């Protein structure tokens, strides 16, 4: 048969296929989430996230060493404090759990890049992401608290701060607070399009951060919306975000693609706890090949336009990348 185009020609063997790969990935794109628990000595497995741990302050550097050994040089820190109150005041305590963890990591691994999640929900006794006023989160009052948190992280030595609260105006407020204190070189990675998602379930049981009443729909985005994500990203970029993020990843690949095309800042995606837990559960049930699903899922996020991926599989992915498996 006479055929001008035979796309299969470029698929005829491993060598030619690899030459034609359109998406090329690197372990430099990966960020590993680390949970530090102030109440813990040693490390404790997280039931909702098989293979993941909460680390005590005594062994958070061991978590970093494991990253380094796997070829991952960046982490996102989440804190689980000993004390919670209505305002979440231990979030900006200079001896708080995240602040101590940053110092411990930086003392031992100064070149390891430490990004901190800036939010209140792990620190408030009601589990919402800010200060309450009549059972709703008060946007403007929360901005002041977030600035204190971000600043305390920068003062402890964080390389980058990542606000995940979804308050309006937080990037501008945090940028101003950092600049005023002399942290003009500390970048902000904004959780710009963060959806009110059921995929955060396993994280909330891991971090003890589920809201005690209601939900987060008053501040996180509605999954029906796409243009609103462009708006949120545009606002964050205008306010000075250095990197924008879409979260979750797999159910929002369309949003990643649109935002990556629309803005000229690096694009991050967070492959969240529920995405990880679903793959683990399906693999444990013998339904899918975990390793291949992990690689294919990560690849889809990069193909959609993300340059940076935050994932609980960071270490396994880095090893797979080094072997040239994706
Ligand atoms: C804090 C925060 C959450 C996640 C990241 N930062 C939880 C939430 O918004 O409820 C979720 C991460 C994950 O599910 O892996 N606000």
- pLDDT tens digits, one per residue of 106-161: 999 999 999 999 999 999 999 999 999 988 999 999 999 999 999 999 999 999 99
- Indicate if 247 belongs to the active site: yes
Facing residues of 235 across strands?
none
Sign of CA dihedral 149, 32, 164, 48: negative
- Indicate if 227 belongs to the active site: no
pLDDT digits (tens, 9 = 90+) for 147-200: 999 999 999 999 999 999 999 999 999 999 999 999 999 999 999 999 999 999
pLDDT digits (tens, 9 = 90+) for 34-48: 999 999 999 999 999
Q: Is the CB of 121 under 6 A from ligand 1?
A: yes
Sign of CA dihedral 166, 200, 53, 46: positive
Q: How many C-beta atoms lie closer than 10 Å to residue 157's C-beta? A: 15
Report the atom number in ligand 1 closest to the C-alpha of 202: 14
pLDDT digits (tens, 9 = 90+) for 260-318: 999 999 999 999 999 999 999 999 999 999 999 999 999 999 999 999 999 999 999 99
Q: Residue 277 C-alpha to ligand 1 middle, in angstroms?
A: 14
Q: Residue 121 C-alpha to ligand 1 middle, in angstroms?
A: 9
Contact 92, 130 (CB under 8 A): no
Residue of 84, 94, 106, 194 marked active site: 194
Contact 32, 68 (CB under 8 A): no
Sign of CA dihedral 202, 203, 207, 210: negative
Q: Torsion-angle region of residue 2: left (phi > 0), alpha (psi -120 to 50) or beta? A: beta
Q: Residue 54 C-alpha to ligand 1 middle, in angstroms?
A: 15
Report the residue among 98, 189, 200, 214 best suited for mutation to probe ligand 1: largest number of ligand atoms under 8 A from its CB: 200
Q: What is residue 167's three-state secondary structure?
A: coil
108: which residues sit within 8 A by CB, 6+ positions away? 61, 64
Instruction: Decide: pTM greater than 0.85.
Output: yes
pLDDT number for residue 312: 98
Q: Residue 15 C-alpha to ligand 1 middle, in angstroms?
A: 40
For the chain, percent of residues with pLDDT exceeding 70 = 100
pLDDT digits (tens, 9 = 90+) for 27-85: 999 999 999 999 999 999 999 999 999 999 999 999 999 999 999 999 999 999 999 99
Name the average pLDDT for the chain.
97
Mean pLDDT of the 220-241 span: 98
Q: Is the CB of 273 under 6 A from ligand 1?
A: yes
Report the atom number in ligand 1 closest to the C-alpha of 276: 15
Give the model's confidence band at 208: pLDDT under 50 very low, under 70 low, under 90 confident, else very high.
confident
Q: Residue 271 C-alpha to ligand 1 middle, in angstroms?
A: 11
> H-helix or E-strand containing 189?
strand 189-194
Q: Is the CB of 119 under 6 A from ligand 1?
A: yes
Residue 313 per-residue DSSP state? T
């Amino acid at each position: 048969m006479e055929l001008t185009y035979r796309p299969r020609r470029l698929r005829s063997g491993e060598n030619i296929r690899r030459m034609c790969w359109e998406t090329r990935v690197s372990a430099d794109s990966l960020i590993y989430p680390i949970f530090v628990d102030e109440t813990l000595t040693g490390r404790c497995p997280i039931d909702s996230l098989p293979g993941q741990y909460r680390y005590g302050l005594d062994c958070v550097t061991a978590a970093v060493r494991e990253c380094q050994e796997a070829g991952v040089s960046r982490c996102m820190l989440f804190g689980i404090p000993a004390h919670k109150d209505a305002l979440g005041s231990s979030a900006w305590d200079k001896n708080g759990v995240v602040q101590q963890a940053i110092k411990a990591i930086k003392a031992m691994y100064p070149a390891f890049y430490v990004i901190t999640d800036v939010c209140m929900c792990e620190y408030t006794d009601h589990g919402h992401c800010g200060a309450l006023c009549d059972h709703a989160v008060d946007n403007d009052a929360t901005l002041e608290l977030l600035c204190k948190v971000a600043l305390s992280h920068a003062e402890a030595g964080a390389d980058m701060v990542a606000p995940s609260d979804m308050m309006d105006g937080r990037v501008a407020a945090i940028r101003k607070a950092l600049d005023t204190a002399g942290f003009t070189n500390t970048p902000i990675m904004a959780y710009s399009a963060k959806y009110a998602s059921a995929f955060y379930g396993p994280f909330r049981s891991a971090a003890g951060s589920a809201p005690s009443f209601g939900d987060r729909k008053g501040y996180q985005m509605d999954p029906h919306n796409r243009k609103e994500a462009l708006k949120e990203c545009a606002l964050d970029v205008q306010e000075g975000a250095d990197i924008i993020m879409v979260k979750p990843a797999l159910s929002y690949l369309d949003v990643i693609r649109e935002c990556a095309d629309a803005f000229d800042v690096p694009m991050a995606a967070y492959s969240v706890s529920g995405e990880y837990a679903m793959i683990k559960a399906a693999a444990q049930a013998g339904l899918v090949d975990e390793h291949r699903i992990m690689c294919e899922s990560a690849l889809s996020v990069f193909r959609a336009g993300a340059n940076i991926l935050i994932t609980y599989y960071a270490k396994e992915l880095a090893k797979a990348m080094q072997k040239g498996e994706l």
